[in-house]
């Protein structure tokens, strides 16, 4: 169990750092958006690349930030009764839900995303818009993001198991997101 919890600490640390990167991507996207608007309306010129880089940054925010969101337990839950359950019941729900729903879907989507990236790379896919960007870098965010989400999901399942067996003092709230 010590080795598994060390794995959890590594994954948590990695996704914490990538969550900070995702936060910075928000600022960068806002600066690019404002700069693009100023140039477009102030100098009557623009480029589709500026619009596309904003979309790419948004994809980075989502795909790199999803695993961090799971780590800090701020993800959207479907169970409307979850908040009424005790901590032990929540741990069981998270443990079973992680194994039955989260991990199979994240692994499958991550795995199925690689051919899309490989094809885009192989053909040198570029946006059809004038001045558009290469497509493979943004497509690469899909499998990478889901691999990170799978790793964080595995970390959460391990931590829930450790908490349920009394090997880890863990409540169902965890740390708060970085502000």
Task: Dump pLDDT digits (tens) for 27-69.
Answer: 999 999 999 889 888 998 878 888 889 999 999 999 999 999 9
In degrees to the nearest 10, what's the CA dihedral of 97, 103, 105, 109? 160
177 pLDDT band (50/70/90 cuts)? Answer: very low
Q: pTM value?
A: 0.86
pLDDT of residue 50: 85
pLDDT top residue among 161 and 45: 161
pLDDT top residue among 173 and 69: 69
pLDDT top residue among 128 and 150: 150
């Amino acid at each position: 169990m010590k080795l598994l919890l060390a794995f959890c600490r590594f994954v948590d640390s990695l996704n914490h750092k990538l969550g900070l990167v995702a936060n910075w991507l928000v600022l960068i996207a806002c600066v690019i958006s404002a700069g693009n608007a100023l140039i477009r309306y102030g100098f009557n010129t623009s480029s589709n690349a500026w619009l596309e880089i904003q979309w790419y940054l948004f994809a980075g925010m989502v795909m790199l930030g999803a695993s961090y969101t799971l780590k800090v337990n701020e993800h959207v839950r479907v169970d409307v009764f979850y908040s009424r359950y005790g901590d032990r019941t929540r741990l069981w729900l998270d443990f079973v839900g992680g194994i039955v729903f989260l991990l199979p879907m994240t692994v499958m989507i991550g795995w199925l995303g690689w051919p899309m990236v490989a094809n885009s790379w192989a053909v040198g896919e570029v946006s059809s818009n004038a001045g558009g960007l290469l497509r493979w870098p943004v497509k690469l965010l899909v499998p990478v993001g889901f691999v990170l989400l799978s790793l964080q999901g595995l970390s959460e399942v391990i931590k829930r198991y450790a908490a349920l067996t009394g090997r880890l003092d863990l409540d169902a709230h965890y740390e708060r997101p970085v502000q």
